[in-house]
């Protein structure tokens, strides 16, 4: 892309393409390389690696978050407490349940609508606006608007149920109603991100493939099933993993809209860590919960990363 806009290299000097790896670095270049990389590395080690190591250390002490210092060494007992705690596993399950509820909707619906939208040649800006605009809205604003629409009796969504002859669930009082509320909100809020990823991938597919299929008499449905979807498979894989990872990290919507309620029945892991670490001040215990959760997330992304490197289809 950028290469085409470059000015021509000045001639007269014999510049051969050099083998980048084989050459030994001159001392000046070695120093320059480190100087360029140092600001990043310093911040990276301090604020990305740092918290991982601190979490690991703190999880072995009975640290409290109210006063400075790490407290006393307790070995692995924090981990034993976390792994045998029902509330921790309940919150883990809530994050997983949220992922199971949102991922299929947020992988398949945007795919369907991106394909539909791609069959229209005009007004693409309108779909981009309608679907992607919610993504730039802060979670708190989304929750304010949806909380208002979920208001019992007077809310717009509550009333929309009765317009089609259904009775609305109690969005704040029952667990199933609360899940419905938070899933609908999440689909509205983040739909656009996946929609844009799919749209970009669809635009990469050559028009000639479709023309050839049309000559062969393929119906639109056959075109979608035999051309578009198979060619989008790598993108679907990417959307899937990004969605699973971001759904497992859910916090904002559930905390702001429901505070994890009713009666902690929707509280996700991050809120559990937040509650035990910052409301109950059990720093060491919350750090152990953090590390367990951290390992789960890293294993999932590392697993996907390795699987993708090994499979030849996506290389």
Partner 1 sequence: MATIVDAPAGAKSPSRRRSGPEQAGKAFNRLAATCVTLFALIWLVPFLWALITSLRPNEEIAAHPTTPWSNNWNFDAYKFAWNSSPLGWWYVNSFIISTLTVIFTVVVCSMAAFALAHLQFRGKYVVFGLILAGLMVPIEALVLPQFLEFRALNLLGTYWAIIFPSIALPVAVFVFHSFIKAIPVALIEAARLDGAGWWRIYYQIAMPLSRPAISAVAILTFITSWNAFLWPLLVLTQTKSQTIPVGLSSLIGGAAIQYAETMASAVLGILPLLAVFLVLQRQIAQGVANTGIK
Q: Which is nearer to partner 1, 90 or 308 (CB)?
A: 308
Q: Residue with structure tokens 């597919």? A: 205
One residue of 62, 65, 103, 175 binding partner 1 per CB under 8 A: 65
CB 55 within 8 A of CB 287: yes
Look up residue 192 and give its two tokens: 């656009």
Bond from prior residue into 214 cis (ω within 30 degrees of 0) = no
One residue of 44, 73, 93, 161 binding partner 1 per CB under 8 A: 44
Range in contact with partner 1 (rule: CB under 8 A) among 76-84, 86-94, 260-268, 297-305: 297-305
Residues of this chain, 83-142, that bind partner 1 according to CB under 8 A:
113, 115-117, 119-121, 125-142
Q: Which is nearer to partner 1, 123 or 176 (CB)?
A: 123
Instruction: Give the DSSP H/E element, type plus range, for residue 117.
Output: helix 86-118
| CB < 8 Å & 24+ apart, contacts of 205-211 | 205/231
277 binds partner 1 (CB under 8 A): yes
Q: What are phi and psi of 91, to 5 degrees?
A: -70, -35
Range in contact with partner 1 (rule: CB under 8 A) among 78-86, 173-181, 202-210, 225-233: 202-210
32 binds partner 1 (CB under 8 A): yes
Number of CB atoms found within 10 A of residue 54's CB: 12
307 binds partner 1 (CB under 8 A): no
Q: Residue with structure tokens 């740092």? A: 50
Q: Is 222 helix (H, G, I), strand (E, B) or coil?
A: helix
Residues of this chain, 210-269, that bind partner 1 according to CB under 8 A:
211, 214-215, 217-221, 235, 238, 242, 245, 249, 251-252, 256-257
One residue of 60, 82, 92, 143 binding partner 1 per CB under 8 A: 143
């Amino acid at each position: 892309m950028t290469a085409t806009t470059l000015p021509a290299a000045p001639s007269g000097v014999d510049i051969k393409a050099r083998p980048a790896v084989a050459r030994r670095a001159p001392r000046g270049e070695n120093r320059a390389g480190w100087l360029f990389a140092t600001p990043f590395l310093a911040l990276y080690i301090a604020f990305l690696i740092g918290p991982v190591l601190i979490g690991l250390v703190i999880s072995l002490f009975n640290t409290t978050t109210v006063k400075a210092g790490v407290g006393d060494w307790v070995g692995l007992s924090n981990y034993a407490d976390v792994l045998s705690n029902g509330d921790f596993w309940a919150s883990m399950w809530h994050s997983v349940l949220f992922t199971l509820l949102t991922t299929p909707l947020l992988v398949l619906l945007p795919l369907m609508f991106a394909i539909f939208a791609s069959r229209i040649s005009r007004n693409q800006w309108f779909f981009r606006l309608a679907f992607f605009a919610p993504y730039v809205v802060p979670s708190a604003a989304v929750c304010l608007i949806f909380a208002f629409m979920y208001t019992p009796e007077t809310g717009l969504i509550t009333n929309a149920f009765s317009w089609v002859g259904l009775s609305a669930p109690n969005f704040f009082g029952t667990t199933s109603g609360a899940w419905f509320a938070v899933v609908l909100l999440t689909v509205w809020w983040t739909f656009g991100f996946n929609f844009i990823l799919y749209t970009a991938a669809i635009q990469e597919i050559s028009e000639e493939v479709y023309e050839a299929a049309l000559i062969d008499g393929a119906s639109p449905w056959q075109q979608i099933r035999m051309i578009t979807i198979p060619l989008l498979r790598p993108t679907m894989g990417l959307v899937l993993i990004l969605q699973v990872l971001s759904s497992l990290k859910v916090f904002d919507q559930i905390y702001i809209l429901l505070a994890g309620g009713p009666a902690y029945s929707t509280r996700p892991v991050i809120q559990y860590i937040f509650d035990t670490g910052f409301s109950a001040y059990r720093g060491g215990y919350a750090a152990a919960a953090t590390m367990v959760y951290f390992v789960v997330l890293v294993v999932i992304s590392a697993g996907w990363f390795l699987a993708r490197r090994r499979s030849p289809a996506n290389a």
